[in-house]
A and B are shown apart, each in its own frame.
Chain A
């Protein structure tokens, strides 16, 4: 099992460009999440999907959109990248005995110039 995978691993964008971060999981998780992690700010939830076909805003959704394409895949889109979106992005699925354990992908490092 690959667990949670993310592509790309690294990306450099110019201000105003768009891109989609891909996430896939083979752990049969119902819930999936997108976080960003910045120095001194910790992990902040951007969007989450409690189940296939549903998405909800997290703490910092502005500038992002998401798609829960199916149970396995949850993508994050930046329509017009800004330098403030320079960050490390983590996708996670939730599972475990109580359904609360977060299993993270390896992250995408994004630099917006």
Chain B
């Protein structure tokens, strides 16, 4: 099993739709969790950290389920500009190593 797994997609959704991505991780000792966004041919940028109690930033909601070892990202009212690849990142282990998922591709269509 990969340390961090994501559905690669692509997810094709119309503008205004709600879309959710999940990311599973294998190391139960994982400590911190993040979602990054990467636009085509650009560098990854932090979208949001994921807190144990869940957190929201505008149209974006991130949740953590430690029992089932997954994190999720919910995007409401999708915009064309949300089209990107969303990378799940987990900080794991005593060596505090960052593990990157391969990403989930989202295309929001007019």
A98 and B32 in contact, given A90-B43, A104-B45, A105-B43 (Cβ under 8 angstroms) = yes
- A53 contacts B by Cβ under 8 Å: no
0/1 interface trace, chain B 32-48, chain A, CB 8 Å (1 if under): 10101000001111100
A45 B98 Cβ-Cβ under 8 A: yes
A102 and B46 in contact, given A40-B102, A42-B102, A42-B103 (Cβ under 8 angstroms) = yes
A96 to B103, CA, bound (A): 22
Residues of A within 8 A of B98 (CB): 45, 100, 102
Interface residue tally on B, bucketed by range: 10 to 19
Most buried by A among B32, B43, B98: B43
Residues of B within 8 A of A96 (CB): 46
A54 to B34, CA, bound (A): 26
Residues of A within 8 A of B42 (CB): 106-107
A113 to B42, CA, bound (A): 23
A45 to B43, CA, bound (A): 15
Q: Which residues of A, 18-51, contact B by the 8 Å Cβ criterion?
A: 40-45
Interface residues of A (CB under 8 A from B): 40-45, 90, 96, 98, 100-107
